[in-house]
Chains A and B, each alone.
Chain A
Amino acid sequence: MKLGYFTERPYRWVKEEEVLKNRAFFAVSNAQFDREKAADDYNYFLDEACYAEELGFDAVALNEHHGNPFCMGSVMNVEAAILARITRKVKIVLIGNPLPVIKHPLRMAEELAEIDLISRGRLVTGWVRGAGSEQFFNNANPAYNREMFNEAHDFIVQAWTRPGPWRYEGKHFHYRHVNPWALPYQKPYPQMWIPGVLSPETVLWCADHAYPYIGLGTSLGPTADLWDFYADQAAKHGYQAGSENFGYLIPTFLAETEEKAQELGRNFVYGGGQGAFSRPEHTLPPGYNSKNAIRMLAKQPGGSWLGISREKINAEGGAATEDVNYDEVRKKLVAGFEKAQRNHQILIGTPDTVIPKVKQILDVIRPGVFTFFAVQGPVGNEDRMTSLRLLGEHVVPAIRDYAKEIGLKDPFTRLPGKQKLTSGVQRDPVVDRDALKHIKFEG
């Protein structure tokens, strides 16, 4: 089991009412940006990653978003490069670089190779398509998102493995001279872990490549379904999926007392939390999702998909034009926060209350990588550090022992795709549905 620490590096000084009024973090004006506070925070978040290493975490994870105070990681590779130098042991896990948004896979191959070299082989590189809003910020054509993702990924693998110089003429990318003089330290190249929020296409793509799939706080039932979907596809490719093929990330906040944990932990829904990452019109730009995904969305008018329902898309978008009753909005957000805790989608408390919940999650979905996602919103450095310390001193050792006890292997202990499965032989289960029955979920 690899245990990781992750934070969005929130811009903690954005006023909540600005976000609520805008109905999202994305597109809140940067007129509020305070360079002194941001300078402090960029440095603080790097210190936090170092502290996670000191406490015994196996990995620190970074991500990238653009034009959004929800996450200050606008250019994640810069932070990763610094961590490569100032940390010594931890894996530096990128979840992940938004390939279609960056639109320069050769440059990406060089940057990541440098990070892997400086860290002497501690990079785990993941790829994402980039959230919908990223397509707007970077003017990346959403209708070619999936194509560009696939092409950029295939190109990077080639750039790392095929001796140059050679010329590349693809559909979306063209290079006259591919011959990077920075190649990864790890051979043939760093592991790739792919984060997602349950897009079946991405899960399938991961299984096709035997890449670990990291569920980002996804609810346990559908996560178990998708793990099975992955494992079935893996079986078609002749391998047995196991815990090494799966990772999970969950919002977690700890404090010395339950009361304090609850009080500060509710900052996970500050400004609306993840559900307010971007407004519907920015979340689903045209062509960003597959035809099947759109059809599914169209036929489930009452449902929600990636937090977006057809009603929301049908509705008029934009920021709030009417007066907003902020107290009412906050009341609803807190109710959602409490429900998410009951559904094991957010972990809040002390080590005593959080450890059993993590164990329950491990029992059900059996991931080989488990990452704690730090609190959002205006929580001070001291409280964030306390949460991290409690995780590192109590939760991490307990979970490491438990993972060993139930046989969870990580992708470094057992390489994904290496457990061969003979054709015609029934694959082993990858999730425990009996364990799922022990958790009561609210609809």
Chain B
Amino acid sequence: MAQETEQTIKAGGTELTLVRGGSGRPLVIFHDELGYTGWMGWNEALAAERELIIPLQPGFGKTPRLDWIMNYRDLGGFYQRVLRDMNLGQVDVIGFSAGAFIAAEMAASNPDIFGKMVLVGPMGLKPEDGQIMDMFDKTIRTHLVLTVWNTEAPEFAKIYGGDMSPEQFELFEDARSETARLGWEPYMFNPSLGHLLQGVTDTGTLLVWGLRDDFTPRGCIEAYKKAIPSAQIAEIPEAGHRPEIENPDAFIRAVKGFLAD
């Protein structure tokens, strides 16, 4: 078992809290718009070969909110500075949902920053067809239910089952507030991002999409594919917007295979 630890470091001009676990070449993970879920099976599987570095987004309850960060491009700029401060050099990255938006912004402004980039149910681009589901006009419970197609997945219950404690409620509200701050309008995409991503030609890119994802529709994948034509696509069956917990075996297989190439 990888012993993941939470630590706070000085980076990016702030006290950044991050989770680290595993050993091997660094693999940066950007969590989604609801925050870090805790160490799951997929973390454990990837940590067998890589050191996972999971920064906890400013304003999500642990790392202090940074007032100057007003959109995902600002946030991407912040994380670039963090990676420089950590002397990580070129790293591989996985971004989930809004976390994929962050990774894409970073790659767009610095195409050498990532060796390989995995974008899971990515936000950030206006879908070629359809709309990114609005998470802000829903109660948190509805939001959670709609992100997941396979609610029988054991890890869904582990993360979101049972009563919501006051602490969890507050963390969710922190996450939703900060996400609104950055992505309210245009809703979770940046009109210029697609153009800049066309300059990302040497970063191996994998687009992961749960075949039952109603949250980020297939049009999001098409938009990324249009911007980065070399990107591969991994479709995960029996999964919605959280393929890593809804169908972890298929997810791990796809991601591990891509990162190992």
Q: Which residues of A contact B (CB under 8 A)?
A: 136, 139, 141-144, 280-282, 285-287, 291, 294-295, 298-299, 301, 310, 312-318
Contact = CB atoms under 8 A, between A and B. Distances in A.
Contact of B136 (A144, A286, A295, A318): A286
A301 B166 CA distance: 8
Contacts of B184: 139, 141-143
Contacts of B139: 280-281, 312-317
A299 B166 contact: yes
B142 A141 contact: no
Interface residues of B, number: 23
B173 A286 contact: yes
B185 A286 contact: no
B181 A143 contact: yes
Contacts of A282: 137
A317 B143 CA distance: 9
Nearest to A172: B70
Contacts of B185: 139, 141
B57 interface: no
A144 B185 CA distance: 12
B219 to A, nearest CB: 21
B140 A313 contact: yes
A294 B178 contact: no
B147 interface: no
Interchain residue pairs A-B with the least CB separation, the first 8: A287-B177, A286-B176, A143-B181, A298-B166, A141-B184, A143-B180, A317-B139, A286-B180
Given A142-B180, A286-B177, A317-B141, 11 more contacts: A139-B185, A141-B184, A286-B136, A287-B177, A287-B181, A294-B170, A314-B164, A314-B169, A316-B141, A316-B142, A317-B138
Interface of B: 136-142, 145, 164, 166-167, 169-170, 173-174, 176-181, 184-185
Contacts of A143: 177-178, 180-181, 184
Instruction: Please report whether the interface of chain B is mostly helix, strand, loop or mixed according to DSSP.
Output: helix
A318 B142 contact: yes
Contacts of B176: 286-287
A285 B169 CA distance: 14
Contact of B141 (A144, A287, A301, A315): A315
Contacts of B169: 298, 310, 313-314
Nearest to A27: B137
B181 A316 contact: no
Contacts of B141: 313-317
B187 to A, nearest CB: 9
Nearest to B146: A316
Contacts of B177: 143, 286-287
Contact of B137 (A281, A295, A298, A301): A281
A136 B137 contact: yes
Nearest to B166: A298
A242 B173 CA distance: 38
